[in-house]
A = this chain, B = another copy of it.
């Protein structure tokens, strides 16, 4: 594709639309952070960064870019892990982080309407203040909700509550040609043509730029309780998970964690984890409207865990203790990052009854590939986060071994009927693995869908299904 290189005239147009020089960064004024995201190793600078204030501005710029075939890359807080928000073809970056208003809480429709730049932590704090609940709970609380929607982020409560897509009712979107359209709305049911709203969710900024979202809320559960369950080793912990699912109790979350990752978190946070007796833990949460309602459920699961070899069941029902546990869990990514020189990630998802096989495989992979791998994740929904660590490897060693480890992990996931990404997306970094994992027919249709939205291929090119 021949893109037009951004020139002075284009910049003039942008300045005229934005009419606020502080919201435009170009050339050397572009901060280094705009050239990459949180992890993927993908690096490329945009020619200009526009901090958009509203959909109209984005529409005007998109429309101009469409006319002149200038590439555009949308970006939220830049917390992605696979390079989705990196401007591979340079051009214009549209940063939506200033569009951070919570526009409306609609108690009669149980919805909240937000701009895309609202941070996940701001959203959850706001709705909880009003006794509502936004269930998706990805570890990275400083991600924008626009970013969460773009990767269909899942998070820790997916076991019981599902993923971001399940909580998006409607979207306002600027299309690649600059038109502003609405998909869905405040309605609960919709069978009016193809599922445009659902398709936008998880499309990683390649089909349109989200400028507003109507999100579904639930009443805030009145009670929650966490169980920290130590096991003698990882295997016995993980093998208990399908038994928990089978027991027909529905925890809000089932996470697994290992001693070594907990230690990283302790160091990172400068704070001790409340238990030290075991090598591996399951961390479960239960929520509901009364202590009794939850108790019946967690009592059953606690007994089940003990019968499966758990060393103990620690009940956390104070906010303080709860925080010390979940804060450690929330810090894992940063803590692991801090424990090595460089790393890359894998976000495979497998059917829940295969989780033990997948974790065991990753745990033993260092026998085959001489590289350190740390993992944690959402045992309850089959979504594992594994981090491959560079440590003191040379660049060549790293490239070779990291690739070898990834190939093996993705291959194993495919064998277990899993998929490449549970919630981090494909972006730029995971394209080869998606390409290997899906049928050629499916990849072609995805490319056709991209072309239907973006015939000139100017919006976030080279991502997801594109070469």
Contacts and interface: CB of A to CB of B under 8 A. Distances in A.
Interface of A: 106-110, 131, 151-154, 158-159, 162-163, 165-166, 175, 177, 179, 181-183, 185-196, 198-199, 201-203, 207, 218-219, 242, 245-246, 248-250, 289-290, 292-293, 296, 347, 349-353, 378, 381-383, 417-426, 434, 437-439, 441-453, 464-465
Contacts of A441: 175, 177, 179, 181
B185 A351 contact: yes
Most buried by B among A188, A196, A198: A188
B438 A193 contact: yes
Nearest to A435: B193
Contacts of A426: 191-193
B166 A162 contact: yes
B196 A442 contact: yes
Contacts of A421: 190-192
Contacts of A154: 188-189, 191
B452 A449 contact: yes
B202 A199 contact: no
A451 B448 contact: yes
Contacts of A423: 189, 191
Contacts of A201: 195
A427 to B, nearest CB: 10
State the oligomeric state as a number of copies. Answer: 2
Contact of A445 (B381, B434, B438, B452): B452
Nearest to A443: B193
Nearest to A418: B187
Nearest to A242: B108
A223 to B, nearest CB: 12
A424 B424 CA distance: 34
A351 B165 contact: no
Nearest to A441: B179
16 contacts: A109-B351, A109-B352, A153-B191, A165-B195, A179-B439, A181-B441, A185-B418, A185-B419, A188-B381, A192-B420, A192-B426, A192-B438, A194-B203, A194-B449, A289-B296, A293-B293
A293 B450 CA distance: 47
Contact of A199 (B107, B177, B198, B382): B198
A188 B417 contact: no
A108 B353 contact: yes
B451 A187 contact: no
In the A-B complex, list the 4 residue pairs whose CB atoms are closest, starting with the nearest. Answer: A448-B452, A108-B353, A219-B248, A198-B198
A350 B443 CA distance: 36
Given A188-B381, A190-B419, A448-B453, 20 more contacts: A108-B352, A109-B353, A110-B245, A152-B190, A153-B191, A177-B441, A181-B441, A186-B352, A187-B417, A187-B418, A189-B381, A190-B349, A193-B446, A194-B203, A195-B195, A195-B203, A196-B442, A196-B445, A219-B249, A219-B250
Contact of A446 (B196, B289, B351, B353): B196
Contact of A158 (B189, B218, B219, B464): B189
A191 B107 contact: no
A455 to B, nearest CB: 8
Contacts of A289: 293, 296
